[in-house]
Amino acid sequence: MLCAEKHFTAAIDGYTRAVDLNPANAIYYSNRAFAHIKLENYGSAIADATKALEIDPKFVKARAERGRGAGEQIVHLAPVVS
C-alpha cells in the first residue's frame, strides 16, 4: 500500500520490520527492492533482490527487480564513466 501511494521510505521501513519478523519471506525482500529502486538506492535494491532469490530461486519478480536495479545503476554511472 505504501509503495502504491509513493511513500517509498516508509515502505522500506515497513518491509524492514517485516523481514525482521520473517526473514524467510522472499516477497518482503523483493518489495523492499522495488522501493529502493524508486529512491535510486540501486545497491540496496540489488542486495534485497539477490536475497529474495537465495530464498526462492524461482521468484521471477525478484529476478526482474535485480535486473532493473542493475540496469538503472549502470545508466546512472554511465555519465561518470564517460
Range of the domain at 49: 8-81
What pLDDT, in 10s, does the model give residues 56-80?
999 988 888 887 887 787 666 655 5
Residue 20 resides in a domain: yes
Long-range contacts of 8-11 (CB under 8 A, 24+ apart): 8/35, 8/36, 8/38, 8/39, 9/35, 9/39, 11/35
Q: In CATH, what number is assigned to the domain containing residue 24?
A: 1.25.40.10
Q: Which letter does DSSP use for residue 22 in this model?
A: -
Residue 36 resides in a domain: yes
Q: Which of 1, 68, 78 is nearest to 36 (CA)?
A: 68
User: What's the pLDDT score for residue 80?
Assistant: 53
Q: How far is CA 58 from CA 33, 52, 54, in A?
A: 16, 10, 9
Residue 3 resides in a domain: no
Our count of domains for the chain comes to 1
What pLDDT, in 10s, does the model give residues 12-46?
999 999 999 999 999 999 999 999 999 999 889 98
Q: How confident is the model at residue 4 (pLDDT cuts 50, 70, 90)?
A: low
Give the count of beta carbons closer than 10 Å to the beta carbon of residue 37: 23
Q: How confident is the model at residue 3 (pLDDT cuts 50, 70, 90)?
A: low
Q: What is the pTM of this model?
A: 0.81
